[in-house]
Structures are given as structure tokens and as C-alpha cells.
Structure 1
Amino acid sequence: MEKPARFPDVMLLAAGLGTRLRPITETIPKPLVPVAGIPLIERVIGTARAEGAKRFAANAHYRADQVLAHFGGLLKVNREDTLLGTGGGVKAALPMLHSDPFFVMNTDAFWPEGADTPLARMQAKRENEDQIVLLCVQPSRASGFSRSHDFCLDPFGRITLDYGAPVIYAGVALLGKNLFADTPDGEFSLNLLFERALDEENLLGVTLDAPWFHVGDAEGLAAAEKALSA
């Protein structure tokens, strides 16, 4: 009997300062900010676990001790002495990730646990190691997002800058370790990898079929809590 495929590891981006959520983040790190009683990072983990994720890693910088204490050793955490950015943070944590490809998930945005299964569709979409698959959301289903859109998604599921339906990057990416081979040491953004893939027509997208909440500031937090309590 064939052994079931291993669900990709999940890298949680949890090192941000959360300056737009002050004064809340003056006492706790942004990933631990509660939304309707549940910390942001736990909501993100819950959506991934609902689809079968079992192995998680995270980075931490601001109030890192609180992140480490929250998980009590049950989650691998790479402590950053200086902020490495989204790309540098993932690169530094690659030794903690055993699967290839793996998911990267922001910890300031989520959808209701079990409302959709986009991670499975993202895995099905990726066909080779040079491709990156992003989770996208239609602007009409997004809460707490100030821009009109990030890019467009064409009818074939390819991300473009100007052709297709306007979509927002929903903070989840599926990508391979090979893409980090020629990246800088230290701080850099995952946008570097996304832009390279876009130029090479290797940037793909899958649309979320659920409400999406971005908790980047106090208004976004209030909107998410109101929607979840309705």
C-alpha cells in the first residue's frame, strides 16, 4: 500500500513589531494578539491543521520570549537577534523545515478554520520546483485591507500585473528551498522571490473561497472581531 504524501511543513512569520497595533503590542507580540479570544498565530495554525498540517516552525524577534513561552517547546522557533525580513527570516529557518516544498504563512491574516481548503488546491497547482503558488483573495471578501488589490489572476491561474481578476495576496505561499540558493544573506523580503517568479511566469495563484481577515491595525482587529461575533 502506497504511503500517503507528507503534508508540507508550515513556516509561520511571527517576528514583526506590530507598530500599527499599538498600544496592544507594547505588552505582547503581534502574533499573540487575541482576536475574539484566540491569538492570531493560533488562528493561523488552526486553519493549517484543519487541512492536515502537523509540523510547524516560526521565527520571533519582538518579545520573542513570550512567543517561546506560549508554545512551551512544542513549536520550533528561530529567534532573530535582528529582523531578517520575510525572506531572510524564512531562509534562516530552513534547517527547521524538513519538507520540500513548504508553506509560508503570515500570522496577521486568517480565514475561519474549516471554511475552505485552499492549501490542498495550492499543492495541486504547483507542478515544478521553480513555481511559487500564492493564496489570493477577492477584494470583496477581504477585511482590514486598505489597497484596492496587489495584482491580477488570469483565467489559467497565473499571476500578472495587469491581466485578469484583481486579487489580494492572502499571506500564504507554497515554495521550494531551491529558490533561496542565490538569495542574500541577512535581511530581504520574500517579494524578491515573488518578483523573480513573476518575470519567469512561474508565479501562480489559488483563490480563497472564504472571508479573509487582515489584522494589521486597530481597525482591522475591530472588524475581524465584529464579523466573527456575528
Structure 2
Amino acid sequence: MRPEALMLFAAGFGTRMGALTADRPKPLLPVAGRPLIDHALQLADQAGIARKVVNLHYRGDQLAAHLASRPDVALSWEREAILETGGGLRAALPLLGTGPVLTLNPDVVWSGPNPLTTLLNAWNPARMDALLLLLPAGEAGRAPGKSDFLLDGDGRISRANGTDGVVYLGAQIIHTEGLANIHEQVFSLNRLWDRMIARGRAFGLIHPGGWCDVGTPAGIAAAEALLAADV
């Protein structure tokens, strides 16, 4: 089944940005003259994804106002508390619908092929419960040993456990049925990934392009340089 909906995680406080997020949510920070959330939505539009959901918490009213001109974007409010990636995705399921979904972190910038299209073209529901977009740790700016996963010859992922491997880039396709079996309200998608890894149904794919985490003020300049080089 081809995923038809995208979840954009936009509820966080953006504390690593310091003063830049004191009066606005991180997805509204400009990179190359456009808010981060608009860069992410452009990827979704280019990939032909019609149904998009954004979760909101910190200064969510600002983000909601910015998205008011986008009738194709639904809002999943987390008013009382941030639910993290797993809880946030589960709360948004009534808006996302059934079946596998794409998820994307809007606080990253990409060059090269559209990451969502790359995932859609590689998705194989007969083998996969999750497909994560990855880069080798060195290419993602991680120190040796600071990896998320190992990637085997068949494309399956396992936990790195300190071994130099690959880094998750914040874009994936994932089946959501297993979320109902997690009882906590606030939890990370790591919980679901670990169950999929144990079943041999979690896969990874190397992104054939550039990537920049816009998590700190220095990341903004790096992201703008990446985009300028990709023109």
C-alpha cells in the first residue's frame, strides 16, 4: 500500500536555538528567506502528497496562522503537553488515516533528490514495516561511534550500540498499527522501531544527496550554504 499522508513534527520548543525561538516556534525560523516549515511542505508538494498533518504545541498559534492559507494541511494540537514523536503520531492518526504514513522533521534541509520521493520509490510493504532515510555517521556530522543504526546488506537496520554506523535523518515511512499496543501517552517512535527491528521488518536507505540539521543557530548558515550549492 502506497502511503498517502505525511506527518510533520513541529511541536517542539527548539531550545537549542536559544534566543531565536524565544518568540517563535522553530519551524517558522527563516532559512534562505523562507520558513523551515515551507521548505518541508515544498518537498511534500513536489512528491505529490495530498494529505499533510502538522502537530503543534509551542507557540502553536503562530504556526497555525502561518498555515491558514494551506487547506491541504491539517493541524494536530498537543495543547496540554508535547507527546514526543510516538505519542504525537498516534494522536494525529484520525487526521492521517489508515495504512502506512510518511513522517518528516521540518528542522532539516536537503539537497539532491526529494527525500520523500526516494522513500516512496523504495517502499515495499511486503517486506517492510518501516523504511528510514539514513546517512553514514561521518557524512551526517556525527563523531565516530555516535550512530543510530547499523545497516546490513539486505537493507535491514539494527541498533548501533556505539558502533560507527548510520544516522537517521528525520524522514521515513512507517506502519502505525503498533502504536495502539503502547500504553504510555508520551513516548518516542524508538519504541515502535525496536519492535520492528526485532521482527526483521525495519529497513533503511541511504539518502543520495546532502542533508543539514538546523537544530542550532550555526545550522542555519550551514543549511543556507547547502541550498546555495544545490542550485
TM-score bucket of the superposed structures, by smaller chain: 0.7 to 0.9
| Equivalent in the alignment of 2:108 | 109
Q: CA RMSD in A?
A: 2.4
Post-superposition CA distance 1:178-212 (Å, at most 9, x none): 12120124211111011111122211011110100
TM-score (norm 2): 0.87
Measured in 2, the distance between the counterparts of 1:24 and 1:154 equals 40
| Equivalent in the alignment of 2:53 | 57
1:54 partner amino acid:
A
2:59 partner amino acid:
R
Alpha-carbon contact 2:137-2:166 (below 8 Å) kept? yes
| Equivalent in the alignment of 1:15 | 11
Query: In 2 relative to 1, CA 158–6 (structure 1 residues): closer, same or farther, beyond 3 Å?
Result: closer
Deviation at 1:25, TM superposition (A): 0.3
Query: In 2 relative to 1, CA 67–19 (structure 1 residues): closer, same or farther, beyond 3 Å?
Result: same
TM-score (norm 1): 0.87
1:51 partner amino acid:
A
Deviation at 1:49, TM superposition (A): 2.1
Structure 1 range deviating more: 69-78 or 115-124: 115-124
| Equivalent in the alignment of 1:191 | 190
Deviation at 1:38, TM superposition (A): 1.4
Alpha-carbon contact 1:7-1:54 (below 8 Å) kept? no
Superposed counterparts of 1:60-209, under 5 Å: 60-72=56-68, 74=71, 75-81=73-79, 82-112=81-111, 115-123=112-120, 124-128=122-126, 131-142=129-140, 148-162=146-160, 166-209=165-208
Q: Partner of 2:153: helix, strand, or coil?
A: coil
Deviation at 1:119, TM superposition (A): 3.1
Measured in 1, the distance between the counterparts of 2:206 and 2:5 equals 21
Query: In 2 relative to 1, CA 146–88 (structure 1 residues): closer, same or farther, beyond 3 Å?
Result: farther
Alpha-carbon contact 1:9-1:103 (below 8 Å) kept? yes
Alpha-carbon contact 2:107-2:214 (below 8 Å) kept? yes
Measured in 1, the distance between the counterparts of 2:118 and 2:224 equals 28
Measured in 2, the distance between the counterparts of 1:11 and 1:47 equals 13
Measured in 2, the distance between the counterparts of 1:216 and 1:27 equals 16
Post-superposition CA distance 1:140-173 (Å, at most 9, x none): 4435x56742211111111123599821101012
Number of equivalent positions: 223
Q: Partner of 1:133: helix, strand, or coil?
A: strand
Q: Match for 2:36 among 11, 31, 40?
A: 40
Deviation at 1:65, TM superposition (A): 0.1
Measured in 2, the distance between the counterparts of 1:111 and 1:67 equals 22
Runs of 5+ in structure 1 lacking a partner?
none
Deviation at 1:63, TM superposition (A): 0.1
Measured in 2, the distance between the counterparts of 1:62 and 1:128 equals 38
Alpha-carbon contact 1:126-1:132 (below 8 Å) kept? no
| Equivalent in the alignment of 2:24 | 28
Post-superposition CA distance 1:65-86 (Å, at most 9, x none): 0110001162211111111111
